[in-house]
Structure 1
Amino acid sequence: MSDLRELKYKRAAVKSQVTRLQHFFESAVPKTEAEARVRQVKLEECWKKFEEIQEEIESAALESASIDDEEECEKQIKEGEAERQLFEANYYKVAEKIEAVINSRQGQNQQVRANDVEPRSEQRTHDVPRGKPKLPEIKLPEFNGDYTKWLFFKNSFEATIDQEATLTPMQKHQYLVGVLRGEALKVVQGYQISNENYVDAWKLLKDTYDNSMIIIETHLDELLQFPTITKEDKADSIRQFVWHIRTHTSSLKSLSQPVDQWETMIIHLAKKKLEFVEQRDWQNLMNDRTPEIMPKLEDFLKFLTDRSNTLRVLNQGKTKQVPSKVTTQKKPNKKVSLIVTSSECSFCKGNHSIYKCEELQKLSPEDRKKEIINKQLCINCLGSGHYARDCKSSSCKKCSKRHNTLLHRNVESQSKESDTATVNYCGQENSKENEKSAKEVKEEESTMRVYCAQRTESTVLLSTARVNAYDIKGKAHTCRVLLDPGSQSNMVTESLATKLRLPNKREYRAISGINQAKSSTTKITEIHIESRDKEFSANIECLILPSITEQLPQKEIDVNRIIVPKHGIMADPVFNEPGEIDMLIGAGLYWKILIGTPRNQIKGQPSLQS
């Protein structure tokens, strides 16, 4: 955590340097071209430092967060995005002002030189084009398919790449592919980079994501999912809370939404996410307000910003006082116990832990226990100097009894009075071996009953078929579908949806399965499918998922053991070979596909149906 704090201090120092550059160029003091160029180099250095520090902060923050804590990981990612957007905005402002100063000074210098030259050379001077100044390197924002970031990405890409006349279409296509990630990259992966394909690839990307209604709905959903304010880092949590509201309200305003008319509702919903202290202080601050003079959203955000700054100052004061408290305060009656452990094995005296002793692990659990007792070791922790009844270590991880897991017997006796053991299952091939071992155990110490049963394996063939799915250009692609009358929805894999390059819409759909297992998706598309003999076709709405199920069947089936009509045409000619499932057709279409009743209803054989 201390490393993360140091990185944030370094990031703040870089941001302060950019702010000082901004104040310098906003001041009324005249600037020379040399001053502008020197600070231009400094601005580039600040950009590189910020990128390096921000990447280290995000890596350290994600490592400190729990892997299973999705909310914490999402919080860290959003915080990084907000920091980048703020820094980029200031960077571009300063870069524009530097370019304005350089261009202005160069224009003045050229005018002076033009006045000094002879008139006969005037025409020649005008014919020579002025060299373009070297622009600072602008890093294009990346886009991964998040609708809330689409407008920012589109405007940036069009301003810097798409509308740049000096770039060829192939170069623009290369830039486009270079800044796309995840789902967005899959949309245009079907286009080979070339001069001819750039326009189509950029158009397909805009057709997919340039949807104002989806963007507005996505921003509204995100706005109402307020981040959690934690007690451990309350100042930063409140600051993230403010950024969250500002980001989405500003985006909605740019989309011509009447955000000003929603301010009372937004304040009411956001206030409920605050802790009691902040709610109380805000209410006390607003006691004198009337319905005619309701507080504005900006007042609410300013109140939270001031509270965040106050908490940050107080936390910094606490941090500085920690060393003095540690040195002055004494904690009486505090005892520290030190335990010195040896790596020598208590069983074989080797240079390793007893838990890794190969000699001990070669023995059966019963023999291990006898040897441990003979060496007067604890049967619970395998240590020396005490017995199991006084041992404070944890018990067996398999049965929770007071013995070590290494001493656990896989075959437990059913009755304490008689040492009768039961083998729950054994294969037919090993039955004689088990009987022999049972007789040996009976002669030595106890009676063993062996129950043998032959396990018969069976395989259930699910209904699969090969159909043609048509892409955005009307080209047919053969895919493998699973017919499932128990499903209420149709589904398609992301790989097939990307291959078809069909537009999809954003809509949240919850999916529940066996044992109430829950998942969800936010992408839906419509696919036109047709049977291979072209006698049946339909348009179906499919939920887009990363995968539908494992390979079906799970292992190859011997078709010689199955009764199949010789001249019959199978819907899936390779039904017996394991393969990927590209699409699932649910009950809505299932009963429209089948004709007649099942045939070949022989026990142990699959049923056939048209």
Structure 2
Amino acid sequence: MTSTAFTVVRESCSGITTHLRWFSSAAALVTRENRTEALMDRYEKCPARLQQVETLYQRFLLHLEDVPMESFPKERRDQVHEDYVQIMDMADDIAQRAREVLALRAGVPPTRAPLKTPVGLLTKLPSLDLPRFDGRLDKWMGFIGLFESLVDSREDLGPSQKLAYLLSVLDGEARGFVQHLPICDGSYEVARSLLTKRYHNQRCLADAHIDQIMDLPIVSNAPQLRTELLNPLLIATNALNRLGLPVAQWSYLLLRIVLKRLPVSMRTRFEQEHARDEASPLPTFDQLLTFLENECRTGDVMVAVAPVGPSSPRPTNQRRTAQTTPKGKASPRFAVAQAARPDCRFCKSQGHRTAQCQVFVALHVSSRRRIAKARGWCFSCLGDHYQRACPDTHPCPICGGQHLKVPTLK
């Protein structure tokens, strides 16, 4: 680490914090009808301020790789990124309110600003099944690989069209980095550069995917095997391979790590299939992957082929259940089955609901609010309904408001 790099990073961080206070003060004027003149004065100064913020942020990204993690920890790095995104969000709010004021003064009806994602442009482009990316490092390698294959490599698309596709699949922090860019040819390379500098950090990516392997859960049954263990394992090892790390040389190490995550019955079947004498070589990680894939396929077949026989409920029982169950209500047995499989609408994982998602809760409050608003979630419970229709009537114990009660992070 050079002292110059640390000084630049620290000064850039301090400068962005100063601008954040200025924009927070300006954004507080948006809802105050009696402070319109003060808001317009701040609005005129916004472009120069945004240029200074952009310069500071680019310097911060440029020198951050030369500063070790112990000198500038991850929490402070993430906070700078969140401050930058928050500044851009507040600048958008200030600009929208200023446009409404100017429209009223000109005697014309105020109009809402167009969406940052160019919906009109996208409707004229071919429909592509693209992955989404919200800023999670463990998702970056898979996302950028598919995006480059499906969009960036296409010669029939211009830069502005590629930017339209890019903006349409970004969420959360990742979208905040580039949502201020105008839709034009020159902005595409700028957007790619911003995202690459933020997320394509080899050290951070390697750490994220190794942690993904080390944090694999202990599965207790076959249905959990694919979603909770095999898929994350393949994503992590493929990403580490793309980063140029010697994954093939870690074969037996990976084998031992994964075997400890399997139930005893499954581990016994693997050992029986690959029993070795003292002169035989060690079982390989590829053999374990093949075994796990076969186990998953067997589980899929067992679920798909439901047993029909004497143990199955008689038709009369089915009719009786249909008659005694109120219309629109699930039977108790079905309700229990549903409750056992909660689904997170943010990280798409099984085992927890969105309100208990550690990834979602860890985001800045402004990011959580923006994501919930964009996806039409209830602010109280993150359900798929309006807040006024939310069954959760318990107010926040701190402020008395109706909003998400964030659990304590572990």
TM-score, normalised with respect to structure 2: 0.42
Structure with greater contact order relative to length (CA < 8 Å, sep ≥ 6): 2
Q: TM-score, normalised by structure 1?
A: 0.29
Which of the pair has more CA radius of gyration? 1
**Larger strand fraction of residues:** 1
